[in-house]
Chains A and B, each alone.
Chain A
Amino acid sequence: MANHTIIPAENPALEVHDLTVSYEKKPVLWGIDFTIPKGALCGIIGPNGAGKSTLIKAIMKLVDINSGYVKIFNKELDSIRKQVSYVPQRESVDWDFPASVIDVALMGRYSRLGLFKKPRKADKDAAMKALEMVGMDMFSKRQISQLSGGQQQRVFLARALVQEAEIYLLDEPFAGVDAATEKSIVEILKNLASQGKTIIAVHHDLQSVENYFDWVLLLNLRLVSCGPISEVFTPSLLEEAYGGKLTLLSEVGDLVKKGEFKAREKQ
């Protein structure tokens, strides 16, 4: 398999090197290796179960990795966390939690606040500004359980914007949201990218990929391609990512799980 489909970025904001990740002991990402340039608006594309969310989580160190490393602006995540913003999947939290819209947006300031400090006026102003950007300032006092799916996603995005980070990782920001919300989220992301921020988002809908992103990462358990959209978003590569040619890979993964092997002999 030719390697020229993985195009190295100059001045990378994110570098993922030889990343292997297992989920419940089954390897779900094999030897992932790519770079994404600063200022890119990058879509992570691939079929269901391709490991798209796992990749984001591995970059954020939310899941353990078997091998490899991740570098952001050539640094370890821990030393640069304040410049990294993460938007989890909307369904990953309980929206019945007793909190209001502004409460959630304020959570984006917690890392800045540090321990023992309560949010102050400046923090609330920043949260309100972020809510305004996503068009949710009218609902700042509303209980989060009363929000629609699209509104929930906007609140999550506002919480990320409050962090004023340099790189944004979004897990399925368009899942289950209305068309108007999708449009306004895309606009915000494009705007961020034009300011030199790096955006990486898990995305499902192949139709809109070309309109939304300028950099694409095709994934199906292993990396199929990564590069500028004009070069790597091609029918043959899409066929490779979605064609399900590599059932062998997933069967080997099952065997690894069954036998409780380690994905790497030495860890």
Chain B
Amino acid sequence: METLVEFFSFKYINIGYVVFGTVLLSISSSIVGCFTFVKKKSLVGDVVSHAILPGICIAFIISDSKDPFFLIVGAFITGWTSILVMDAITRNTKIKEDAATGLALSVFFGVGILLMTHIQHSGNANQSGLDTFLFGKAAALIGEDLVAFSIIAIIVLLIVFLFFKEFKLISFDPNFAKAIGLPIKKMEILLTSVTVLAVVTGVQAVGVVLMAAMLITPAAAARFWTNQLSKMILLAALFGAFSGVSGAFISYSAPSMPTGPWMVMILSIIAIISFFFAPKKGILIRQLRRVAIRRQLLEENLLKTFYRIGENSTNYFNKVNENDLGLIRNFSPKQLTNGLKKLKKNGYINKALSQWYLTNDGYEKGKRITRLHRLWELYLTEYLRIAPDHVHEDADTIEHVITPELESRLEKLLDYPTTDPHSSAIPK
């Protein structure tokens, strides 16, 4: 707790810088990542992050300095070139996009490593620290580096804000964008430039290898929570910012912990949580819904069975024991115990001396399910010309699905029938 207070009081000005820097970098890459994500170009970020390495090395060799301005220019140029190379390969050869992506990534990175090794063995005293680009150096993001990268991050944010509408359209429907006269080439160039810039700055925090995660993970996680691009971008930015603060805090409270990898770890955790718990799309919710449906099926099947027994004895409120139910339909003992308990709780049946009987509500519900079952059987035989002995299983499912609205349409279509294909009465 004490560390937390100390951290957020920004007692040491450097902490403030580091937090500011990492948050800004991760926000800009998260936002740009949303566009690469919806354009299904997720791997582009990976290629670009690897392809900036040779640019950094060349810029260093030419300028003989680690001035961030030169390094950024170099990184930007080779990052862009890698995208052009990928496009050229897919356009002019039979090589498909995935292979072109792999090719561009490994060739550019290979050249980068080659140059890096050369520089390291050249005896240039100035070179120390250049290799931090490989793994990031968020915790050392201070001074003119911080200024340079923050400016870029702000430019990236500004451009996305100004051109949001256009970026959205070219991501969704480039043909239409072109047809309404949008300068689509220029827009694509702008969006790609913003992507390359976001990667160039993001690499500062997490390094070449983890950069793809910074770009894509927030977008992928945000997509689980919303169906709107603007909200998705906002959420991704939030996730990115949170990971920036947490990464900086973790490495502050435990100095042996690196900032960048922790940011990616935090993002991954957010993504996993989204994957499981997001409403509508999350796995957990879908699983719960499946369980609820299974329970509904069991309850309705039990009520239907009660009704069938009542039909046979012409007294729908007769007391029934579990064996009687089992004679009509196969229920496992566990299903019987759970299902009957639940039905009693919901007021559809009552118990008297280890025997069960329908309440009025239970009778109505059992009747409705039976009715839907038989209506559907009739529909199948009359409209789909399916043989009467083939319709039962299908109706067993559909009886649980039909809404009251569909029910009345079905009835009307079949002209208010009274008997099903097996001559059983369709209850009113």
Contact = CB atoms under 8 A, between A and B. Distances in A.
Interface of A: 57, 60-62, 78, 81-82, 84, 86, 88, 92-94, 97-100, 103-104, 107-108, 110-111, 113, 115-119, 143, 145, 159, 163
Given A78-B181, A110-B182, A111-B181, A99 B176 contact: no
Contact of B169 (A84, A86, A92, A110): A110
B228 A100 contact: yes
Interface residues of B, number: 25
Nearest to A78: B181
Given A60-B175, A81-B181, A88-B173, 18 more contacts: A62-B178, A86-B176, A86-B179, A88-B179, A94-B38, A94-B172, A97-B38, A98-B229, A99-B168, A99-B172, A99-B227, A100-B227, A110-B180, A110-B182, A111-B182, A115-B162, A116-B162, A119-B165
Given A99-B229, A116-B162, A92 B173 contact: yes
B226 interface: yes
B172 A163 contact: no
B223 A88 contact: no
Interface in B229-253: 229, 232
B8 interface: no
Given A110-B165, A110-B166, A118-B165, A97 B179 contact: no
Contacts of A108: 180
B176 A115 contact: no
Nearest to A81: B181
Contact of A98 (B181, B182, B227): B227
Nearest to B231: A98
Interface in B37-51: 38, 40
A174 B179 CA distance: 20
29 contacts: A60-B175, A60-B178, A62-B175, A62-B179, A81-B179, A81-B181, A88-B179, A92-B175, A94-B172, A98-B38, A98-B226, A98-B232, A99-B227, A99-B228, A100-B227, A100-B228, A104-B172, A108-B180, A110-B165, A110-B166, A110-B180, A110-B182, A111-B181, A111-B182, A113-B165, A116-B162, A117-B165, A118-B165, A159-B176
B172 A107 contact: yes
A60 B162 CA distance: 27
Contacts of B416: none
Q: Secondary structure of the B side of the interface?
A: helix
Interface of B: 38, 40, 162-163, 165-166, 168-169, 171-173, 175-182, 223, 226-229, 232
Contacts of A103: 228-229
Contacts of A110: 165-166, 169, 177, 180, 182
B169 A97 contact: no
Contacts of B226: 98
Q: Secondary structure of the A side of the interface?
A: mixed
Contacts of B165: 110, 113, 117-119
A62 B181 CA distance: 11
A84 B179 CA distance: 8
A78 B179 CA distance: 10
Given A81-B181, A113-B165, A97 B171 contact: yes
B172 A97 contact: yes
A60 B174 CA distance: 13
Contacts of A116: 162-163
Contacts of A88: 173, 175-176, 179
Contacts of A93: 172-173
Contacts of B228: 98-100, 103
B180 to A, nearest CB: 4
Contacts of B163: 115-116
A107 B227 CA distance: 17
B175 A61 contact: no
A57 B174 CA distance: 13
Nearest to B223: A98
B179 A60 contact: yes
Contacts of A86: 175-176, 179-180
B218 to A, nearest CB: 14
B300 to A, nearest CB: 27
Contacts of B227: 98-100, 143, 145
B148 to A, nearest CB: 27
Contacts of A99: 168, 172, 227-229
Contacts of A81: 179-181
A116 B161 CA distance: 9
Contacts of A159: 176
B135 to A, nearest CB: 33
B178 A115 contact: no
A221 B317 CA distance: 75
A78 B232 CA distance: 34
Contacts of B162: 115-116
Nearest to B38: A97
Contact of A107 (B176, B178, B181, B223): B176
Contacts of A104: 172
Contacts of A107: 169, 172-173, 176
Nearest to A144: B227
A110 B179 CA distance: 11
A84 B40 CA distance: 29
Nearest to A163: B180
A99 B38 CA distance: 11
